[in-house]
Amino acid sequence: MKKTNIKIGILSLILLASVTLSAQNMSIGVALKGSTMGVGGDVVFQFHEKMTVRLGYDAFNRDFPLSFEEQDITYDANVNFKTGSVTALYDYYLLKYIFVSAGLGLNNFHVNAIGAAKDDLPYGDITIPAEKIGNFEFDIEPSMRISPYLGLGFGRTLGKEKKLGFGFELGAYYMGSPDITIVSSGLIAPTSNPDQGQEALFEKQFSQYNMYPVMKFSLSYKIYSF
């Protein structure tokens, strides 16, 4: 008898949940977005008047020339900055136009810098050619590729009464301390020698940068309601 009551109770909860969901104005739509993670889009599913789920993708990739001086040597470098994500986010509306968002993102953050000495180096009575000084390559990646996300948003990730919806969001990914890899040659080869501890030193200096801030704008279009 007790087991029967439990089964009836579970069945009642399932039916209640089904009726509740079916009573909601559920909708599906798409959104264009631009953020500090890049440009991309979302598929948005509203399954409750206060809840939506977003599956999305964004990306950004750009090269930056860089010139700097270190110990009287001028270096030219090219820095490739890449970021972006594949995301699964859950939104809960505290008020009609204020929501909190949480979820996970496959973090594609990556910085690559390749450079070499630009000029020869006078050293006493001799001159060391630039190609002998050597070249270098730095790679910086997050230690957590799967990064948890938390944000606060204003507006709607999917329009409620209208087809169009606009959202603004502030949040951050926790991506852990950055992993840094150094490769170098020539006179600067010791920079990448593990015995010199340069990688460990750089990782320690950058360990505080474990969050990636996100500022996001989105424009959504409701495709279908049911």
For 103-151, the pLDDT digits (tens) are 999 999 999 999 998 877 777 778 788 888 888 899 999 999 999 999 9
Q: Virtual CA dihedral for 92, 98, 102, 107, nearest 10 degrees?
A: 140
Give, in order, the Cα–Cα distances in Å from 84 to each of 29, 53, 199.
21, 19, 25
CATH pick for 26-225 out of 1.10.760.10, 2.40.160.170, 2.60.120.560, 3.60.21.70: 2.40.160.170
Report which of residues 2 and 32 the model is more confident about.
Answer: 32
Which residue from 86, 101, 79 is spatially nearest to 42, judged by alpha carbons? Answer: 86
The predicted structure's pLDDT at residue 22: 45
Most confident segment among 4-13, 119-128, 161-170: 161-170
Report which of residues 89 and 198 the model is more confident about.
Answer: 89
Which residue from 89, 87, 88, 93 is spatially nearest to 160, judged by alpha carbons? Answer: 93
Q: Which tokens is 102 given?
A: 């949480």
- In the chain, domain spans: 26-225
Which residue from 89, 94, 74 is spatially nearest to 31, judged by alpha carbons? Answer: 89
